[in-house]
Amino acid sequence: MNQSRPKARLSRALGIPLTPKCVKYFERRPYPPGVHGRARRKETDYKVRLLEKQRLRHQYNVSEVQLRRAFAEAHRSSGKTGERLLVTLECRLDALVLRAGFARTIYQARQAVAHGHIAVDGRKVDRPSYRVQPYQTIEVRERSRAKTPFQVAAAGAHVGARTAPYLSTSIEDLRTTLVRLPERTEIPVLCDEQLVVEFYSR
């Protein structure tokens, strides 16, 4: 079974391609799935906010419980709640593995962490939700570097024009350091975070 198809369907429902493979499916049918996909639908305020929350949740591949917990933490902290929420999510270990170019998608990054291929400051960490702090170093473990997905990553296959500016990355060594917390303008997710804040604050 083609595993990209369920994600392609989800991408169409959310209005954003969730993986590189989904881009072609999304461009071919840029409307929601189902027989009424092209029909005009009444957009209520609740539905608009719900959709934005779901977009954010799926871009980070987190559960509803995890997202709600991250929101509660952001709400308690100083600064704009929406921006703090995105910074919190962006500092998850799986998200940074993706941003560093060690994986092609957030799903692959999560799997790499969960299967024990990633170390933080030299210690194996297998929790994708692990919160990385500034100056901590993330790397693919020595015993995992010979595996094909990481050989592909080390060749620079997943690195775009530049890596995230809040990371100091050596792609050949499969090593990166979080040099500072990211700023909202640097976080590459499609989201109107204020709508997410309004959804949870209702």
Rounded Cα distance between 98 and 102, Å, is: 6
| DSSP reduced 3-state for 25 | helix
- For each of the domains in the chain, give its residue range(s) and CATH number, in order of start: 1-41 (1.10.1050.10), 92-180 (3.10.290.10)
pLDDT digits (tens, 9 = 90+) for 2-11: 444 576 676 7
Sign of the alpha-carbon dihedral angle for 77, 78, 83, 88? negative
pLDDT band at 1 (very low <50, low <70, confident <90, very high): very low
pLDDT of residue 3: 47
Strand order in the sheet with 137-140: 123-124, 118-120, 137-140, 175-178, 167-170
Sign of the alpha-carbon dihedral angle for 140, 143, 144, 148? positive
pLDDT of 29 over the 80 cut: no
Q: Are 171 and 24 in contact (CB under 8 A)?
A: no
pLDDT digits (tens, 9 = 90+) for 138-169: 999 999 999 999 999 999 998 865 679 999 99
Q: What is the mean pLDDT of residues 96-124?
A: 96
pTM of the model: 0.83
